[in-house]
A and B are shown apart, each in its own frame.
Chain A
Amino acid sequence: MMQIPCPFCGPRNESEFFYGGPVRPSRPDPAAVNDEDWTAWLTQVPNPLGPVQEHWWHARGCGTWLTIWRDTRTHDVVEAPDDAG
């Protein structure tokens, strides 16, 4: 069980959070991209052997959606949100 740094609540057990998936690039303007780029954006996410930026929802806490950088090899949180305790 990881300990996830919540910017409002401090370090909390992973069981308080829902996993929100890896952070993707911003959703493109559908009017400005072709199908190929759109489907690539839709179906492909970063899958690094190493740090990945991802969303977590502090659902059983303050309700914040936050992002951390987590190393997929170790689960180490290598970069926490700003002002996380």
Chain B
Amino acid sequence: MKQHYSALSLLRHGINRHTTWAPAWRSPPLKDHYDVIVIGAGGHGLATAYYLAKDHGLTNVAVLDRGWLGGGNIARNTITIRSNYMRDASIPFYVKSVALYEAMTRELNFNMMHSKRGMIDVIQNYPMMRDRRRRQHIMDIYGATYEQITEAEIRRRIPALTGGGPDARLPVVGGYVHTDAAINRHDAVAWGYARAIDAMGGEIHQQTPVTQLLRGPDGRIAGVETPRGVIRAPKVAVAVSGHTTTLTETVGLTLPLRTMNLTAFVSEPVKPLIDVIVNCPDAGFYLNQSDKGELVIGGAPDTGQSFRRDIKQTVFEDTVSAMLSLFPSFKKLKFLRQWGGHLDIAHDASPIQDETDVPGLFVTAGWWGGYKAIPAGGLTLAHLVATGRPHPLMEPFGINRFRHLDYVMETGTTTAR
């Protein structure tokens, strides 16, 4: 990194009243040809460009974004990093992603504020206990940790959880701790990657919307069309959660994806109250307290396909009343802000990462809230783009599985579903 970040550098620049800091990334002129174009300067797109440069030496790469870098779902999520999945296909991928996140601060010389605080799943019925028990054993095979804890232990570790007593409609019957789980600072992930890509020679072009994918006479991908002109590249990777089909349909390519809106909201900032991630799959919400003191709360997605970043009031009220059932003291806590994001969800609810029927055109999609998958998703997509072969961690997630109806049924992984 050209300009190292440290306490010492802060002191040094502080003496100059911080007028000597160099930009974290450049705004280079847009060329008309690159080796690879990555569409979407969100988490997955930036991570892909980072690993193209770092692992494969590909730096003649442009990341294009219709808005500002880091402005997609990475700017609006619940920053939960975890690997408590249920299938052989999924767990190793997420274990890798968690490990990459843990190393990211040092690797990128940018403080991700990675807080490995663990997640407690608060379980309120017996079928869900069975589901979690199943995960506990299979996760162990891949080195992910998941420990059963008692109701008393849950209440000791989350003192604000005073609801869900024995006579409650949904009593707390037990729980699991996922010690690998963490939260971090989402903007830092985007900015840290952007700075590292820039340092290695990659380019990020903001305010550069792709209006059309372009195919050559041989049927291969040839480039993209933008209001700033046509940009050519033999390989194009689409990492635009929610808008994947909007783009691929410009070359007549349909995919088994639907776009949904998932919303989260925060409370007013308060003094430290909860120092773990709390997930309540039966009640249907999850929350954590950010370093700013806000409780960051998520629930179910809105019904139906949606590109509208606003919560459905019924979904919102359901989530809030579920939360109040376990945290009744939050009645006088105040709701401060909310936001939504466009996710795409594949037909089997597992991600898709593959080269498409248009040679040279790659997609990474269907992450359904893919924040936790960013580093490993970028690593694997870079491998696929650079080598033409799927990364072993992503092999089960190709498009062809829908031709054989060989679904990866990994449901029940976010909240109540």
**A residues neighboring B (CB under 8 Å):** 1, 14-15, 19, 22, 35-36, 39-40, 42-45, 47, 49, 52, 54, 70, 72-75
Contacts and interface: CB of A to CB of B under 8 A. Distances in A.
A35 B403 contact: yes
A1 B313 contact: yes
Contacts of B304: 19, 54, 70, 72
What DSSP secondary structure best describes chain A's contact surface?
mixed
B403 A44 contact: no
B259 A75 contact: no
A19 B259 contact: no
A19 B256 contact: no
Contacts of A15: 314
B312 interface: yes
B243 interface: yes
B402 A47 contact: no
Given A1-B313, A47-B245, A49-B246, A39 B405 contact: yes
A74 B254 CA distance: 23
A74 B305 CA distance: 11
A64 B399 CA distance: 36
B233 to A, nearest CB: 24
8 contacts: A14-B312, A19-B304, A43-B402, A45-B258, A47-B245, A72-B259, A73-B308, A74-B308
A43 B255 CA distance: 8
Contacts of B255: 44
Contact of B256 (A1, A44, A54, A70): A44
B66 interface: no
A70 B347 CA distance: 21
B307 A49 contact: yes
Interface string B91-106: 0000000000000000
Given A22-B258, A44-B254, 9 more contacts: A1-B312, A14-B314, A36-B403, A43-B347, A44-B347, A47-B344, A49-B307, A72-B308, A75-B306
Interface of B: 243, 245-246, 254-259, 303-308, 312-314, 344, 347, 402-405
5 nearest A-B pairs in the assembled complex, by CB-CB distance: A43-B256, A43-B347, A19-B303, A47-B245, A43-B402
B185 to A, nearest CB: 30
Nearest to B404: A39
B397 to A, nearest CB: 14
B308 A47 contact: no
Given A36-B403, A43-B402, A52 B312 contact: no
Given A35-B403, A44-B256, A73 B307 contact: yes
B330 to A, nearest CB: 23
A1 B243 CA distance: 24
Contacts of A1: 312-314
Contacts of B312: 1, 14
Contact of A40 (B254, B303, B305, B308): B254
Contacts of B254: 40, 44
Contacts of B403: 35-36, 39
A19 B246 CA distance: 23
Nearest to B246: A49
A40 B304 CA distance: 20
B366 to A, nearest CB: 12
Contacts of A35: 403
A45 B258 CA distance: 7
